[in-house]
Amino acid sequence: MSSDNHLRPNPKRRPKVASSVPAKPAAPAARQPGPDARKTVTILFADIVDSSRLSLSLDPEALRNLLSRYFGELSAVVQRHGGIVNNYIGDAIMAVFGMPFVHEDDALRAVRAAVEMRETLAILNHELEAGWGVRLMNRIGIN
């Protein structure tokens, strides 16, 4: 066996090597800080304007169905942008971005979620007006 023989390509080995190398680099993964690490998070809070009037104009079951639809739509928006719904408080939804996984752009993700929430509510209002004769407005704060 010559000394350069071991350097020649071996077709039997190629598939193993090629299959172990990713086709393209993976996207940067979210970081998960340790349990004792301080975390910077972004909080998004959205509530319905004048929900007291709304509760007086609808029967309890209709109000429950309306709020369920509203929370479902807004929760989906939060999740699409990488946040988690932390709590539902009356007619409000509180979401957290940056927990349990930290992204460098968590604040921007929250802002984008807020913009999409407004767009989603505009679409949802067409359905609510037709079905219940009501139109919702909400306030959104980000900290």
Query: 88, 52 in Cβ contact below 8 A?
Result: no
Amino acid at 53: R
Q: What is the pLDDT of residues 21-75, one digit of tens each?
A: 444 444 455 666 666 777 789 999 999 999 999 889 899 999 999 999 999 999 9
**What is the structure's pLDDT at 30?**
62
Residue 87 confidence (pLDDT) above 80: yes
Half-sphere exposure of 122 (CA within 13 A, CB side): 6
**What is the structure's pLDDT at 38?**
76
**What is the structure's pLDDT at 4?**
53
Share of the chain above pLDDT 70, in %: 75
**What is the structure's pLDDT at 61?**
94
Q: What is the pTM of this model?
A: 0.72
**What is the structure's pLDDT at 20?**
43
The span from the CA of 45 to the CA of 94, in Å, is 5
C-alpha 77 chain-centroid distance: 6
Question: What's the CATH number of domain 39-142, 3.40.50.1370, 3.40.470.10, 1.10.10.10, 3.30.70.1230?
Answer: 3.30.70.1230
The span from the CA of 73 to the CA of 91, in Å, is 14
